[in-house]
Amino acid sequence: MGKYKQFIYNNITFESGVRHSFIVDTGSGESIISRGALKHLCPSATAKPTTTRIYGVTGYLPLMGETILSIHSQDNSCVPIRFLVSQDSPSFLGLMVMRTLGHSLSLHTNELKSDTTEEIQKLVIPCTKNAGGINVPEAVLEVDSEPVFLKRLVLPYGQREGVLNAIDRMEKTDVISRVTSSPWTTPIVVAMKCDARTPRICDDYRLTINPRLRKCAAMTMETEDFMDPLHGCQFFSKIDLADAYLQIPLHPDSRAFTTIKTP
């Protein structure tokens, strides 16, 4: 494992009975195996060309192609899994493969008191499925232009059902509201979330309100101002808001500017 010992690993058994340790990466939909590991584990396996591209914090990861390997699942049956083959990198196990194999990940600590655990659960559990806006002042959009109305973009047939279901959920949770007409209309574009199944509804405002919004200055903290107090800290927490951009409430007078054209 060497320099990668700080990561969480999962031991995977191949059809041949050989085991290999993969770094668990729940933030990736793809799984990666290096060319050297592939040659050692499955000498007869070959890498076929792939159109997939992996971009990380250091740039694009050089890929040799992709291959299909048979792996034992939790019920001991062999499952064909697609791996991207890298020139030289650690082996990563992505979220989709974890789900396919029926693997799960549990983290335990003896440092947390039971009463603290109960308090956190009371705070977190009711919020796991909340949507519809955080408790902040409503955003006001100042637009200096005549309305712009754009036609909708044609979605691939395979995405239509998922997109319509997502729009229906957003309407039921009061994230969006249906209108019969509007002087402003922006088309939607669709990007898939990390599970590769759930569509992310995005509004393409580049040609409508974005260039017509009145600019306003906002003061932000300097990096040193919030990094210095963290010196010496060992534990950190973060908040991950579901559909974060949709959590910001809009003033009623500004909502017409964000009208979208749905399928």
What average pLDDT does this structure show over 183-191?
90
Predicted pLDDT of residue 185: 93
* Beta-bridge partner residues of 202: 189
Per CATH, the number for 130-223+238-261 is 3.10.10.10
pLDDT tens, position by position, 66-92: 999 988 887 778 889 899 999 888 888
Predicted pLDDT of residue 193: 80
- Confirm if 226 and 236 have CB atoms less than 8 A apart: no
193 backbone dihedrals φ, ψ, rounded to 5°: -75, 180
The first and second tokens of residue 194, run together, are 């990390």
Q: Which letter does DSSP use for residue 17 in this model?
A: S
Predicted pLDDT of residue 117: 65
Per-residue 3-state assignment (H helix, E strand, C coil) for 38-107: HHHHCCCCCCECCCCCCEECCEECCEEEEEEEEEECCCCCEEEEEEEEECCCCCEEEHHHHHHHCCCCCC
Every domain of the chain and the residues it spans:
2-101, 130-223+238-261
pLDDT band at 57 (very low <50, low <70, confident <90, very high): low
pTM comes to 0.48
Which is nearest to 27 in space by CA: 241, 166, 196? 196
The first and second tokens of residue 24, run together, are 């668990």
pLDDT tens, position by position, 110-154: 555 556 667 766 666 555 555 556 777 888 999 988 999 998 888
pLDDT band at 229 (very low <50, low <70, confident <90, very high): confident
Higher local confidence (pLDDT), 132 or 185: 185
**What secondary structure does DSSP assign to 18-30, as a single string?**
-EEEEEEETT-S-
Domain covering 2-101 assigned CATH 2.60.120.10 in the classification = no
Q: What does pLDDT average to over the chain? A: 82
> Which region, left, alpha or beta, applies to residue 126 given φ > 0 means left and ψ of -120 to 50 means alpha?
alpha
Cα 106 to Cα 109, 110, 241, distances in angstroms: 10, 14, 22
pLDDT band at 5 (very low <50, low <70, confident <90, very high): low
What average pLDDT does this structure show over 221-246?
78
Handedness of CA 59, 62, 68, 70 (dihedral sign): negative
- Confirm if 183 and 147 have CB atoms less than 8 A apart: yes
